[in-house]
Amino acid sequence: MECMKSAIEPFYAIAVSRRAHELKREGRSIIHMEFGQPSTGAPQAAIARAHEILDSDPMGYWENQALKERIARHYAERHGVSVDCERIFLTNGASPALVLALLSLFEPGARIAMARPGYVAYRNVTRGLHMEPVEIDCGDDVRFQLSADALARLDPTPDGVIIASPANPTGTIIPADELQAIIAVCNERGIRVISDEIYHGLSYVGDTPSALRFDDKAIIVNSFSKYYSMAGWRLGWVIVPEETALMTRALMGNLFLTPPSLAQHAGLVAFDCTDELEGHVATYRRNRDLMLDALPRLGLNHIAPPDGAFYIYADISHLTDDSLSFCTELLEDTGVATAPGRDFDPVNGNRHMRFSFAVSTAEVEDAIARISPWFAARTLRRAG
């Protein structure tokens, strides 16, 4: 057990970001492309509602039943599935929701499958809870995503699997037929499903199905941080099967109490700010197009297909085998902060980096202008 905890590695993008903020305090101009964090704020109507609450409500520990009902209605309208409100738990963002999901389903020692590359916290939170991450190498031949075939080949069978679509760091989306096939394999082999759907709403290739469409017992993790542009409000939710609801409620109350009351009030309003939120998606789409046009000119020709989210995961093996040093030097020289692939893939990540284009279009254009000569010089140096 102790060896699992000691195997938890740092989140290296945090170190890059810390240095970026130091440089900013020194007067440097910094463009933050290291985190999946929208540069826009919460929707204006949600902010206005928060001001009203601050002036009229002392607040306290509270669970917003109206917000839970609105979330349930969202799944009925968007995905055609019925979810009882008693299965929905409001959380302090998606990170506690992942903890609740794992603790609600599994005991220490459980083996949890996940894609590699994948979000750093899947691996480290699993280890921190004394469970064993089973990382499946997912290369460009499978679009850096889990497949039903890969799960079916695992021996021994894992206890659970974490699915992410759209995925971090790649932005790839699992097509509906493949997601259905994955869940069929899980049901056949007794593998419990946790589906991280935090990037739902951020798709450039069409609709993204919820795992609930194919498995009513899948646990769903979601958040207001990405599509709703409310990262700092620390509000998310988890949907659990009916048979684990009592356990989840006990865990939530003991570990986290409730999410911030102010965020819950604002979140309820944010759900219906569709025009403003879709405007953000349009900006991300423009940013994505700019990046996809520019990266080949930088020599970055091997990237994951960014179907959704707001990331591009690029192969930089022709330039380095130390992505952390590479991203650090890029920051120091250009003021553009990016994420080293080492966070997302402990095996091959030293040869990859991730760009987040969840910033303004002007910042994307500025970043491209800054890093273009830097990449050109780096390429010439390696060639010489």
First to last CA, the chain: 49
Q: Which residues pair with 222 in a beta bridge?
A: 237
Task: Write down the pLDDT at residue 2.
Answer: 47
Q: Which amino acid is at 244?
A: T
* DSSP type of residue 9: P
Quote the pLDDT of residue 304: 86
Cα 271 to Cα 117: distance, rounded to the nearest angstrom: 31
Percent of the chain with pLDDT over 70: 98
Tens digit of pLDDT for each residue in 88-112? 999 999 999 999 999 999 999 999 9
Tokens of 221: 């993790």
| Helix, coil or strand: residue 328 | helix
Q: Supply the DSSP string of 33-90, one letter for each residue.
A: -SS---SS-S-HHHHHHHHHHHHH----S---HHHHHHHHHHHHHHH-----GGGEEE
Tokens read off for 278? 């879709």
The dihedral of CA 223, 263, 33, 23: what is its sign? negative
- Kindly report, residue by residue over 270-283, the tens digit of the pLDDT: 999 999 999 999 99
The pLDDT value given to residue 265? 98
Q: Is the predicted pLDDT of residue 384 greater than 80, yes or no?
A: no
Residue 370's φ and ψ, nearest 5 degrees, are: -75, -45
C-alpha span between 185 and 286 (Å, rounded): 37
Calculate mean pLDDT across residues 209-215. Answer: 97
**pLDDT on residue 6:** 53
* Token pair recorded at residue 140: 């460009």
219 neighbors 76 (Cβ within 8 angstroms)? no
Helix/strand/coil for 154: coil
Q: What distance in Å separates the CA atoms of residue 94 and residue 222, rounded to the nearest whole number? A: 6
Residue 379 has which token pair? 């390429």
Maximum separation of any 2 CA atoms in the chain, in Å: 67
Domains annotated on the chain, with CATH: 2-41+274-377 (3.40.640.10), 46-270 (3.40.640.10)
305 falls in which pLDDT band (50, 70, 90)? confident
CA angle (14 as vertex; 161, 25 as ends), nearest 5: 160
Confidence of residue 1 (pLDDT cuts 50, 70, 90): very low
Structure tokens given for 234: 């620390």
Does the pLDDT at position 5 exceed 80? Answer: no
| pLDDT surpassing 90 at residue 131 | yes
C-beta separation of 90 from 63 below 8 A:
yes
In angstroms, the Cα distances linking 329 to 100, 197, 326, 340 are: 38, 33, 5, 11
> Is residue 315 within a helix (H) or strand (E), and if so which, with residue range?
strand 311-315
- Phi, psi (5° rounding) for residue 344? -100, -15
Q: Are strands 31-32 and 336-337 parallel, antiparallel or unpaired?
A: parallel
Q: Is residue 158 within 8 Å of residue 138, measured between CB atoms?
A: no
**DSSP state letter for 195:** E
Q: Does the pLDDT at position 126 exceed 60? A: yes
Give the predicted TM-score (pTM) of the model: 0.94
Q: Tokens 């830097």 map to which residue?
A: 374
152 vs 162: CA distance, rounded Å: 15
Q: How sure is the predictor about 257, in pLDDT bands with cuts at 50, 70 and 90?
A: very high
Q: What is the pLDDT of residue 207?
A: 86
